[in-house]
Amino acid sequence: MRSVHVLVDLPNVSPSAGYAQVSDFARYPELASVVRTVTVHPLGDGQQKSDWEVYFRNGILRWTEADDFHPHEHRISFRQTDGDFDSFAGTWHIISSDTGCRVRFAADFDFGIPSMAGILDPVAERVIKETIARVVLGLFDNHGAVIGDPLLARAVTATALPVPGHVAQVP
């Protein structure tokens, strides 16, 4: 089993505003090119089912997850119920910081193919981390920063997404 952790600092964003944006999974495909589709099925009572398709290597990784929303705690937990992983589960937690909030993503995953773990797991870890960081930064018009992971911060900064609705100025 492999663990993935991403921490993004969002100055001038309250935990409630951070939670509201992060919980909008249906927007993720417009914010990260590797997210092909996310289809959300509300179930009520703070729960939903979501179907995900993400480009991975030379194909598409698919899974369905059960999402549990805890707005008063600014936390979302998820677990795969069907799909290409043998197991995939984790949490989103939006916490207060001195300047605003931080989005903390943590997940454990396993493809269930021990002979391929050395090849697949590092690639999947990188794709998951970069996707999560790009999505979170995109949700907040790239006004934030990855913290605690300099390699991830450089990778995401080097390929920052354009801010939706803004036109790049050409000198």
Is residue 169 a part of any domain in this protein? Answer: no
Verdict on whether the full-model pTM lies above 0.85: yes
Is residue 167 a part of any domain in this protein? Answer: no
Count how many Cα atoms sit within 13 Å of the Cα of residue 3 in the half-sphere of its side chain: 4
Q: Token pair for residue 3?
A: 């663990």
What does the CA dihedral 140, 142, 143, 148 come to, rounded to 10 degrees? 110
pLDDT tens per residue, range 128-157: 999 899 999 989 988 999 999 999 999 888
Number of domains in the chain: 1
C-beta atoms surrounding 93 within 10 Å: 20
Is residue 53 a part of any domain in this protein? Answer: yes
pLDDT tens per residue, range 93-142: 999 999 999 999 999 999 888 777 777 788 889 889 998 999 999 899 88
Residue-number span of the structural domain to which 68 is assigned: 2-158
